[in-house]
Structures are given as C-alpha cells and as structure tokens.
Amino acid sequence: MTKKEEKRLKAEYSRRLAEVADIRMQLRRAYAAFDNTTDCDMMDACIYEINALKSRYNSAVVNVKNLML
C-alpha cells in the first residue's frame, strides 16, 4: 500500500468514526427528548427517530469494521 493510499484510508477511517460519534450524540438527544415528553404524538415521533438512528448507527459501525479489514 502506498503512502497516499494509507493516508486516504486513515482519513476515511477518521471520518467514519466521527460519523459514529455524531449518530451516538443524536441518539442521546432523541432518548432525552423521549424521556421529557408527555405528548403521545411526540413519543411516537421520538420512537421513530430512535429506531432510524439505531439503524444508521448499526450501519455506520459495520462500515467502520469493514474498513478495518
């Protein structure tokens, strides 16, 4: 592997790790919103958002793992 390829791979790895961290932070906010609401419609919206973020998180983690191989 050339130095240029290695540098590109490290940058891609860092970008994907940052994406995982960002999604994790969004999940924390979504859980906090769910915990602080009493409106049924807002609870449904929070649950939908949490499920979507969980899917994005799982996909991002798989992408990081695949990049490491």
- What pLDDT score was predicted for residue 67? 87
The count of domains in the chain is: 1
Q: How far apart are CA 27 and CA 18, in angstroms?
A: 14
pTM: 0.88
Exposed, middle or buried: residue 58 (CB in 10 Å: 0-12, 13-18, 19+)?
exposed
The residue length of the chain stands at 69
CATH of residue 54: 1.20.58
Tens of pLDDT along the chain (69 residues)? Answer: 899 999 999 999 999 999 999 999 999 999 999 999 999 999 999 999 999 999 999 999 999 999 886
Host domain of residue 17: 3-68
Q: CA 62, 1, 57 angle in degrees (round to 5)?
A: 15
* Token pair belonging to 50: 């949490």
- What pLDDT score was predicted for residue 31? 98
